[in-house]
Amino acid sequence: MITATATRRSFLGTGGSLVIGFALSGRALAQQGAAPAGPSRPAGGPAVTKSVALDDVDGFLAIGADGKVTLFSGKVDLGTGVRTALTQMAAEELDVPVERITFVQGDTALTPDQGPTYGSLSIQVGGIQIRQAAATARKQLLETAAQRLGVPAAELVVEDGTVRRRSGGPGLGYGELIGDRNFSLKVDKDVTTKDPASFRVVGQSVPRLDIPEKTTGRFTYMHDFRVDGMLHGRVVRPPALQAQLREVDESSVRNIPGFVKLVREGNFLGVIARTEWGAIRAAQELKATWSDWQGLPEQSKLWEHVRATKVTKDDVTSNVGNTKDAMGGGAKRLSATYDFAIHTHGSLGPSCAVAEIRDGKLTCWSASQMTHNLRKQIAAMMRMPEEQVRCIYLEGSGCYGRNGHEDAAGDAALLTRAMDGRPVRVQWARQDEHGWDPKGPPTLIDLRAALDAQGNIIAWESEFFIPQGAAGNVALVPAELAGLPHEESMAPGNIIQNSALPYAVPNINTVCHRLENTLFKPSWIRTPGRMQNTYANESFLDELAAAAGVDPLDFRLRHLKDERGVELLRRLAVLSRWESRPSPQRNTTGNVAKGRGVSYVKYELNRTYVGAVAEVEVNRDSGEIRVTRFSVVHDCGQVINPDGVRNQVEGNVLHTISRTLKEELTWDRSMVTSLDWGTYPVITFPEVPVIDIDLLDRPGEKPWGAGEPSAAVIPSAISNAVFDATGVRLRSVPFTPPRVKAAMQQAT
């Protein structure tokens, strides 16, 4: 626990800031959440004022007298393994074993704000910051050792956290050199980091640090976290998105054993009980009257609705040559419209948070991917100074973007306030998660292109109909319902990315029509925009290849002027045993048609390269698509942990097969109706294909992200494979059996 004693044991750094004593607290901090009492609860003593500055070495690192290292990371592990990978990066630069490093993540009082954990940036940005901090620290440790040993730093080596002369002899441990004291040093962005040729830890498949505990029930997830005296809360959301709460009858739940309190604030409604089961029963049995609201468009008219929505601005993402003229001069012209359904995050563990207020300070434990931003949002909602709010990250169930965790944190904040600060845990029900997490917005894309007589693309035009807004904070549901301060603008993520092409086309115009609104509050879900845009681009490119009568992989190579991309596609041809021929395949007899499709992306046109080949079987009678194999070649530059990257690629493939073949939000005029796994089906084990991965490792290059890029190519690879198998083009995700059958009937 960070006790007053522990805090006072610390030293005043030269900067005068009080830091926590790491010899004691380094390990205790690592267990934040592991013990029921909540070891990192702010104690009554002096405030924890460890540096959290992004440019301070002390922001990222602390070394105890025992030589143990604590790494403070603003990037958090969302189940992707970055705890292990970031620890490897620090271990490499410091020359200490991975086991000696304790990882503290996403605590606004202890970790620097490295930005939200999204966008496949944890290694690429967060890891580099940590690498630089560690290298700066190492340099200073060497210099200190040089002074003490009376030899030039160049004659020293570090081994397992001990500095000694290259010639041998006794050394000085990091604990002796800096133990429990501040570095008081700015991160040197130009510091010399290790030569990749001498990497010992980076580039190795170090086993994930969390897996033994996660496979044996010893791990403490957000959902397991308990605080003494904690009560249990549940929220009762409106039955229609914008329904108004008319009346609530507390007597309907007063006799439920353990019931403590009903909390109403505007349209925000919650129940609090002594036990979780009491809270569940109270939420289920509470009688409340709401106004009718039927403002949603009919699901069957979704795309007409999107097309009719007011455009507030156009983002032109590429404009080369003159497409109008070139289009007219083409030998062949094609056009098509693609659409991609609304998706839910559908986190497997519904959102959960604990909050308490002590001495006017609010502490919130959350699985948020952005605790630093959440802190600002909660402070605004509660009308509290930001300094009085602390958010502490605890791992939740897989998070693929801004889901419901932040909202549940807001719920917990309102409920603890209603209990005069007594800790309250909020656990969403399944229907809360499916109904109220923000959604991946619907995407509609029109494409037109022209080929010259040789089958080259001479003109390409595309229009993407997507909601306005960028990355930012997504308003908290409880703040909206309660009428408390919240953001008014939408934040769907940076969804214009990859609307432009990675290919060389002489005349090109790609434009994103930004829509004034969308049906459900949007947010980013894994590969936001990049997935939908790549799906349309790479499927339409396939249409052009077919129209040109050219093998689709050759067609891509023909238009690709990027050597790394070309190498990737050539390796993909080998990995997938690609047979060069135009699509569709000739043999169209039989009940089950087999085909293969290729897709390619250069993520955001400036980083990770991925190519994939899908192999599918399409049942012509049932319309069922079975993906039998995925071959993926992945180049994210320097690889920190190869098995970790493979795990992410496999996850991207399977998660996105699920999204492509099965997932689709449903709703009526009032509300989401796909509120469980029965109405929102996802991939199951019998549907899992073989996955072959060729992972390029380029130790001399920058490390790029791997959490999302490979998801971008999955829908188009499947669509192209279905076309190869059947000659039928699928342009509407998800490719459910009824849609496939309808497309096949239309084609005949």
Taking the C-alpha atoms of residue 556 and residue 564, their distance in angstroms, rounded to an integer, is 13
Number of residues that bind other proteins (CB under 8 A): 65
Closest contact distance (angstroms) between CB of 690 and other proteins is 8
Distance from chain centroid for Cα 52:
23
Query: 713: helix, coil or strand?
Result: coil
Closest contact distance (angstroms) between CB of 655 and other proteins is 4
Among 5, 189, 228, 277, binds other proteins (CB under 8 A): 277
Question: By C-beta, is 233 or 584 nearer to other proteins?
Answer: 233
Please report, as residue ranges, which positions from 623 to 652 form the binding site for other proteins (by CB under 8 A): 643, 647, 650-652
**Residues 509-519: b if buried by 16+ CB within 10 A, e if exposed:** bbbbbbbeebb
The residue type found at 34 is A
Q: What is the DSSP string of 14-63?
A: TT--B---HHHHHHHHHTTTTSTT-TTSPPSSSPP-----TTBHHHHEEE
Please report, as residue ranges, which positions from 185 to 214 form the binding site for other proteins (by CB under 8 A): 205, 207-208, 210-214
Among 96, 227, 691, 713, binds other proteins (CB under 8 A): 691
68: left (phi over 0), alpha (psi -120 to 50) or beta: beta
Question: By C-beta, is 338 or 680 nearer to other proteins?
Answer: 680
Taking the C-alpha atoms of residue 490 and residue 493, their distance in angstroms, rounded to an integer, is 9
470: left (phi over 0), alpha (psi -120 to 50) or beta: beta
Question: By C-beta, is 181 or 530 nearer to other proteins?
Answer: 530
Show Cβ contacts of residue 93 under 8 Å, excluding neighbours closer than 6 positions: 131, 134, 135, 137, 138, 193, 194
Please report, as residue ranges, which positions from 715 to 744 form the binding site for other proteins (by CB under 8 A): none
Question: By C-beta, is 25 or 427 nearer to other proteins?
Answer: 427
**Per-residue string for binding with other proteins, 221-240, x by CB under 8 A?**
x-xx-x--------------
Asked whether 85 and 123 are in contact (CB, 8 A), the reply is yes
* 308 belongs to the binding site for other proteins (CB under 8 A): no
* 653 belongs to the binding site for other proteins (CB under 8 A): yes
Pairing of strands 231-235, 424-427: parallel
**What is the enclosing helix (H) or strand (E) of 463?**
strand 457-467
Among 79, 112, 435, 637, binds other proteins (CB under 8 A): 79
Taking contact as CB under 8 A, which single stretch among the options 48-56, 270-278, 290-298, 717-725 is the one that binds other proteins?
270-278
Taking contact as CB under 8 A, which single stretch among the options 37-45, 57-65, 185-193, 275-283 is the one that binds other proteins?
275-283
What are the distances in angstroms from CA 313 to CA 429, 516, 528?
38, 9, 19
Question: By C-beta, is 77 or 406 nearer to other proteins?
Answer: 77
**Per-residue string for binding with other proteins, 116-155, x by CB under 8 A?**
----------------------------------------
Closest contact distance (angstroms) between CB of 215 and other proteins is 5
**Per-residue string for binding with other proteins, 418-437, x by CB under 8 A?**
---------x-xx-------
Taking the C-alpha atoms of residue 690 and residue 628, their distance in angstroms, rounded to an integer, is 6
Q: Which residues pair with 73 in a beta bridge?
A: 105
Asked whether 595 and 618 are in contact (CB, 8 A), the reply is yes
**Per-residue string for binding with other proteins, 564-603, x by CB under 8 A?**
----------------------------------------
Closest contact distance (angstroms) between CB of 693 and other proteins is 10
In the numeric block, the tokens 């009940």 are attached to 591
Please report, as residue ranges, which positions from 321 to 350 form the binding site for other proteins (by CB under 8 A): 346-350
Question: By C-beta, is 257 or 295 nearer to other proteins?
Answer: 257
The residue type found at 709 is P
Question: By C-beta, is 216 or 746 nearer to other proteins?
Answer: 216
Taking contact as CB under 8 A, which single stretch among the options 190-198, 557-565, 676-684, 729-737 is the one that binds other proteins?
676-684
* 683 belongs to the binding site for other proteins (CB under 8 A): yes
Question: By C-beta, is 98 or 682 nearer to other proteins?
Answer: 682
Taking the C-alpha atoms of residue 252 and residue 670, their distance in angstroms, rounded to an integer, is 25
Please report, as residue ranges, which positions from 465 to 484 form the binding site for other proteins (by CB under 8 A): none
Taking contact as CB under 8 A, which single stretch among the options 92-100, 111-119, 390-398, 482-490 is the one that binds other proteins?
390-398
Closest contact distance (angstroms) between CB of 704 and other proteins is 20
Question: By C-beta, is 214 or 577 nearer to other proteins?
Answer: 214
* 666 belongs to the binding site for other proteins (CB under 8 A): no
Closest contact distance (angstroms) between CB of 123 and other proteins is 16
Asked whether 630 and 691 are in contact (CB, 8 A), the reply is yes
Among 278, 435, 565, 703, binds other proteins (CB under 8 A): 278
* 35 belongs to the binding site for other proteins (CB under 8 A): no
Q: What is the dihedral of CA 231, 236, 237, 240, to 10 degrees?
A: 180
Nearest residue to 731 via CA among 743, 721, 741, 713:
743
Question: By C-beta, is 11 or 277 nearer to other proteins?
Answer: 277
In the numeric block, the tokens 């958090």 are attached to 76
289: left (phi over 0), alpha (psi -120 to 50) or beta: beta
**What is the enclosing helix (H) or strand (E) of 610?**
strand 609-619
What are the distances in angstroms from CA 594 to CA 111, 630, 690?
52, 14, 15
Among 13, 59, 81, 611, binds other proteins (CB under 8 A): 81
Angle between helical axes of 642-661 and 82-94 (0-180°, round to 10): 160
Task: Provide the binding-site residues for other proteins, judged by CB under 8 A.
Answer: 36, 78-81, 205, 207-208, 210-221, 223-224, 226, 257-258, 275-278, 280-281, 346-350, 395-400, 427, 429-430, 643, 647, 650-655, 658, 676-678, 682-686, 688, 690-691
